[in-house]
Chains A and B, each alone.
Chain A
Amino acid sequence: MQTRHAIQIEGLTIVYTSRKQSYTAVHDLSLQVTDGETVGFLGANGAGKTTTIKMLLHFITPTRGRAWLYGVPCEQPRARQKVGYMPEQPYFPRYLTPRELLAAHAALAGVPAHETKYRVELALELARADHFAHRPIGKLSKGMTQRVALAQALVGNPQLLILDEPASGLDPVSRVEMRNVLQVLKEQGKTIFLSSHHLGEVELICDRVAIIHQGRLLAFGAPDELTQQTDRYVIIAEKVNADVERTLRSLCSNVRRDGFQVVAVTHQEQVYEVTHLLAKAQAHLISLVQQRETLEEAFLRIVQSAPVTTFADKAA
């Protein structure tokens, strides 16, 4: 049953206890990631994303619950046979070059000796880290180090990639490049489990999204399932004269002229009035579409509607 899933988590809970109190960092988390899927793991800082990943990779032992990677219990080393992991803030020995680092990681990942050179070059090229692969890691910028970290995750040709904030601290250009690389990996059929703060990017590449808040899984589904229709409508019209445009500005928000067209956003209550105004002025209504939430809006709605758990509650 479990082998169909790249990741299977059942009731994963971790409680940190000290002498005076205990603190539940992840509470009864259950989810499955199907092979070949790209799943975004979203949550605010301290929500439990990295802790969950640490439990999956057996860096820490859960208090309760279990997890499997391709059907193998995650506490067994062979569970990580098909895994490539990119940590949130990658640190590598500063004196090594990316090429040397990747050669070592190829050996750790079980890549045969005769394939190592090919795998290293392929990973460097895929992560776009090949042009600085001869420089010591200590002399690379943060963006370059992130790419080395991605190459390191890819060098064993893993089927499952666990990426913890891969775009963290990257400039917009590097972020787009990172997204493009992930898109290529997705097209290659890799399973990607991606923890991120950049909701726009997650929305663009993820098949499903899991939202975790204060250690609890609040929602898990496709972005279309998580986002809702709003009460906002986008109106595009042509042949709108200056008087009508002025009236539109009083009824709608975000009115802008785009060539011959006028684009406006209005609320449900004003839709009839706006369309009537346009018809009366003999303007051409090109489209009238109900707007959907962005993933960011859905995330905020879901998180804000969750019951507030104080530190004391969690401790209890």
Chain B
Amino acid sequence: MPRAFFALVKLSFLEAVRRQILHVMVLLSLVVMTIAGTVSFFDLGVQVKIVKDTGMVMLLLAGSLSVVFLLSGALFHDIEQRTIYPVLARPIPRGLYLVARYTGALAAVYAGMTLMATTLIALLWVHLHYVSGLAVVAIAFTYLEVALVGALTVLLSTFFAPAMTATLTLFLYLLGSLKMGYLHHLAERNVGFARWVITTTSAALPNMEAFRFKDALVHDLTVPVSYLLLVGVYGICYSAACVALSIWSFGRREV
């Protein structure tokens, strides 16, 4: 079974790294990061902040958009183009196929993100001659956030066509990015059933903001290790839940 899984991951990875959307995202991010890091308009302190800020934003943006566009149509096209049939005719569970598809595409996005992260670290090294541990932590949590966005995309792709999947994922992504302050405030202003609905919705939505340590990195703040652990466990559990639901949904679907 592990050989079958890795064979599928390889196929998914090879397909994903050929997609233009990934090339464009990575290239664009590298260009923006390089411009931010090399063109000096400000003094060193501000310049470093801009490098950190731009680098983290581009890493997150390129990673998230790439994973959404790569995974939103993956399952749909496999079924439409019938490439899925010879694979599902093998003695492998459907869940394995889905997880391998997700892992392969995520690995391709991670490959691009690693290129961007290396560039960011190199730029920080050039300016500061050291790289803080928090920079590495912030980058690692961006990887985790992208994994969660990918898992959410896979889950929605088992129900909807690519355009709807991409739209819904981005909508939930935005909602998850905004929700912390707004929904909390909204819940406090309501009572009874309405409050329960808002609280439940708030809990069910992915809390994207929790993964972002950009501000802490830019302003050289410290983040408690316990909080990092909590966010890490949250990210892994949320992604695993999305994938588990996808497996359940795809298992019932006719291909």
Q: With A59-B255, A60-B255 in contact, do A92 and B86 touch (Cβ < 8 Å)?
A: yes
Quick one: closest A residue to B81, CB to CB? A91
A299 beta carbon closer than 8 Å to chain B: no
Interface segment, B2-10, B47-55, B115-123? Answer: B2-10
Given the complex of chains A and B, what is the CA–CA distance between A80 and B86 in angstroms? 11
- The total of chain B residues at the interface (CB under 8 A) is 24
Interface segment, A37-45, A101-109, A226-234? Answer: A101-109
A30 beta carbon closer than 8 Å to chain B: no
Please list 17 pairs of residues, one from A and one from B, whose beta carbons are closer than 8 Å in the complex, sorted by A's number.
A57-B89, A58-B88, A59-B85, A59-B254, A77-B92, A77-B93, A80-B90, A81-B91, A90-B82, A90-B86, A92-B83, A93-B83, A96-B14, A104-B10, A105-B90, A108-B7, A108-B8
**A61 and B254 contact, CB distance less than 8 A:** yes
**A93 and B11 contact, CB distance less than 8 A:** yes
Residue interface mask A44-60, B partner, CB < 8 A = 1: 00000000000001111
Quick one: closest A residue to B6, CB to CB? A107
How many residues of A sit at the interface, in one of the four size bands?
Answer: 20 to 34
A87 beta carbon closer than 8 Å to chain B: yes
B87 beta carbon closer than 8 Å to chain A: yes
**A83 and B89 contact, CB distance less than 8 A:** yes
B189 beta carbon closer than 8 Å to chain A: no
Quick one: closest A residue to B97, CB to CB? A108
**B254 and A93 contact, CB distance less than 8 A:** no
Q: With A77-B93, A95-B18 in contact, do A105 and B88 touch (Cβ < 8 Å)?
A: no
**B254 and A60 contact, CB distance less than 8 A:** yes
Closest chain-A Cβ to B117's Cβ sits at a distance in Å of 27
**A104 and B88 contact, CB distance less than 8 A:** no
**A105 and B86 contact, CB distance less than 8 A:** yes
**A89 and B3 contact, CB distance less than 8 A:** no
- List A contacts of B82 (CB < 8 A): 87, 89-91
Chain A to chain B: the 4 pairs with minimum beta-carbon distance, closest first: A85-B89, A107-B7, A108-B90, A60-B254
Q: Which of A92-129 contact B (CB under 8 A)?
A: 92-93, 95-96, 103-105, 107-110, 113
A149 beta carbon closer than 8 Å to chain B: yes
- List B contacts of A113 (CB < 8 A): 3
A152 beta carbon closer than 8 Å to chain B: yes
- List B contacts of A95 (CB < 8 A): 14-15, 18
User: A residues touching B (Cβ–Cβ < 8 Å)?
Assistant: 57-61, 77-81, 83, 85-87, 89-93, 95-96, 103-105, 107-110, 113, 149, 152-153, 156, 162
Residue interface mask B1-36, A partner, CB < 8 A = 1: 001101110110011001000000000000000000
- List B contacts of A77 (CB < 8 A): 91-93
Q: With A60-B254, A89-B82, A91-B81 in contact, do A80 and B89 touch (Cβ < 8 Å)?
A: yes
Quick one: closest B residue to A104, CB to CB? B7
Quick one: closest B residue to A14, CB to CB? B254
- List B contacts of A58 (CB < 8 A): 88
Q: With A80-B91, A95-B18 in contact, do A107 and B3 touch (Cβ < 8 Å)?
A: yes
Quick one: closest B residue to A81, CB to CB? B91
Across the interface, A85 reaches (CB within 8 A) one of B81, B86, B92, namely: B86
Given the complex of chains A and B, what is the CA–CA distance between A81 and B4 in angstroms? 13
Quick one: closest A residue to B1, CB to CB? A110
Quick one: closest A residue to B2, CB to CB? A107
**A149 and B86 contact, CB distance less than 8 A:** yes
Given the complex of chains A and B, what is the CA–CA distance between A107 and B18 in angstroms? 23
- List A contacts of B91 (CB < 8 A): 77-81, 83, 109-110
Q: A59-B254, A95-B18 are in contact. List 6 more A-B contacts (CB 8 A).
A: A60-B255, A61-B254, A85-B89, A87-B82, A91-B81, A149-B86
Given the complex of chains A and B, what is the CA–CA distance between A58 and B92 in angstroms? 12
Across the interface, A93 reaches (CB within 8 A) one of B4, B14, B88, B93, namely: B14
- List B contacts of A105 (CB < 8 A): 7, 86, 90
- List A contacts of B81 (CB < 8 A): 91
- List B contacts of A109 (CB < 8 A): 90-91
- List A contacts of B15 (CB < 8 A): 93, 95
**B83 and A91 contact, CB distance less than 8 A:** yes
Given the complex of chains A and B, what is the CA–CA distance between A157 and B18 in angstroms? 32
Closest chain-B Cβ to A11's Cβ sits at a distance in Å of 19
